[in-house]
Amino acid sequence: MPYSETVQIRGHLLDTGVLSRCVDDVRSLGGDYVIERFDVGKDHEDESYARIRVQTEDESLLASILMRLNAHGVNLTDPGETVLREVTADGVFPADFYSTTNLDTQVRLDGRWVDVSGPEMDCGLLVTGEPGAQQVRTVPVSDVVVGDQIVCGASGVRVVAPVPEFSEDGEIFEFMNSEVSSEKPQALLVRQIAEEMRAVKAAGKKVLWVGGPAVVHTGAAPAMVALVEAGFVDILFGGNAIATHDIESSIYGTSLGVDLSKGRGVEHGHEHHIRAINQIRGCGSIAAAVEQGVLTSGVMHALVVGGKQFVLVGSVRDDGPLPDVHTDVIVGQRKMRGALDGVGFAIMVATMLHSVATGNLLPASIPLVCVDINPATVTKLADRGSSQARGVVTDIGLFLEQLAGELNPGWRARLES
């Protein structure tokens, strides 16, 4: 084949299966490969090394394959020099722009490697500043403007894959490391998650939650409130639904018109969610409703009282929506990105779309747990590129109550008293 480049990868290539994924990607995209060198580590903690020549019939296909391999931590043996092209139309990258991964990334500029700030998948690399003092950050296509300098092609770019830790017996240790399964001992998983969250808070970092309305529908809102009050919910991402039904529950005692204390529908209960929205809109905002005494309990109330941040992004199916909901999804994305500074752990419960959206924004270095009763939801994050995602298949209500018990002991007794 007329076009080829030589790439290399270091790490635990056999234990993690990353080498097989690399060559599978080359073949599935229409390329070919030759493994020119393969050094296997002798002991568990030793890294392996592979040098691979990638070949294609088409130059643009080769560039595409090289960028795909970056997602696995593969880099060119000869990184070359970075190619910069100027944006010629607002909101449009140059045709051969470098498409980012969520791994830590560096760009070679004037002979020095410059760290990319805000690693995020499916973005471009924007170079700013004067020669010798340039900076690089990820930028979504919607935010580029005429004159921006964008990195193009894979040359002059390298990624840094996370380094795994090892247990005392020499096995690779990763937080909750295994495939998604509903047969894992849930109590153990909950304790692991609680330990990780304590460690993140002790390190001065934030815990990000992404929640869906099932948090309320399952009757787990009091447990979520207990987690907020214990300081383990710093930021909440969600849609109109979780906030609406939480507020409906606070004002009317129902969720989707169902009495949560009795488990049955109430007369005219189907109207409660829109009446709740109307009351909050009359107050002007969720925070104003708390200040005015309209909203006196629930997750949103706890977040406001605790001075915690929340970002709500809507969809076309929303009623209302609440006044705090961002109806422009691009604005919503920007608000979500702006809230990620200092996040050290992310946990996503009962929401597929917002989980995938958040996973797309997070760097691979931030541990991510997805909890849902549906196995397809918790595997989709990894399928969409969030390789750090770990899944727990279980009922959301039971999970949140157990987690609250670990992180805020006695919360239920205090609630009942």
Alpha carbons 157 and 178: distance in angstroms, whole number: 31
Rounded to the nearest 5°, which phi and psi values hold at 165? -95, 165
The candidate with the shortest Cα–Cα distance to 228, out of 175, 285, 143, 301, is 301
Count of C-beta atoms within a 10 Å radius of residue 284: 13
Rounded to the nearest 5°, which phi and psi values hold at 250? -65, -45
Q: According to the model, what pLDDT value does residue 352 have? A: 87
Alpha carbons 101 and 116: distance in angstroms, whole number: 11
Rounded to the nearest 5°, which phi and psi values hold at 104? -55, 135
- Read off the tokens for 92: 């449009």
How would you classify residue 37: left for phi > 0, otherwise alpha for psi between -120 and 50, otherwise beta? Answer: beta
What is the mean pLDDT of the segment spanning 218-241? 96
Alpha carbons 358 and 28: distance in angstroms, whole number: 28
- Read off the tokens for 283: 């107050």
**Percent of the chain scored above 70 by pLDDT?**
92
C-alpha 48, offset from chain centre: 29
What is the mean pLDDT of the segment spanning 154-160? 93
Q: Distance of CA 323 to CAs 158, 224, 244, Å?
A: 43, 22, 11
Q: How confident is the model at residue 393 (pLDDT cuts 50, 70, 90)?
A: confident
Name the amino acid, one letter, at 222: P
DSSP 372: E
Q: How confident is the model at residue 387 (pLDDT cuts 50, 70, 90)?
A: low
What pTM does this model have?
Answer: 0.87
Lowest mean pLDDT among 148-157, 204-213, 260-269, 280-289: 260-269
- Read off the tokens for 203: 């390190």
Count of C-beta atoms within a 10 Å radius of residue 254: 23
Q: According to the model, what pLDDT value does residue 167 have? A: 47
Q: According to the model, what pLDDT value does residue 262 have? A: 67
Q: According to the model, what pLDDT value does residue 227 have? A: 98
Q: How confident is the model at residue 176 (pLDDT cuts 50, 70, 90)?
A: very low
Alpha carbons 260 and 217: distance in angstroms, whole number: 8
For 45-102, the pLDDT digits (tens) are 889 999 999 999 999 899 999 999 998 999 999 999 899 999 999 999 999 999 999 9
pLDDT, averaged across the chain = 90
Alpha carbons 176 and 108: distance in angstroms, whole number: 35
The candidate with the shortest Cα–Cα distance to 281, out of 232, 310, 243, 236, is 243
For 337-353, the pLDDT digits (tens) are 999 999 999 999 988 88
Alpha carbons 166 and 162: distance in angstroms, whole number: 13
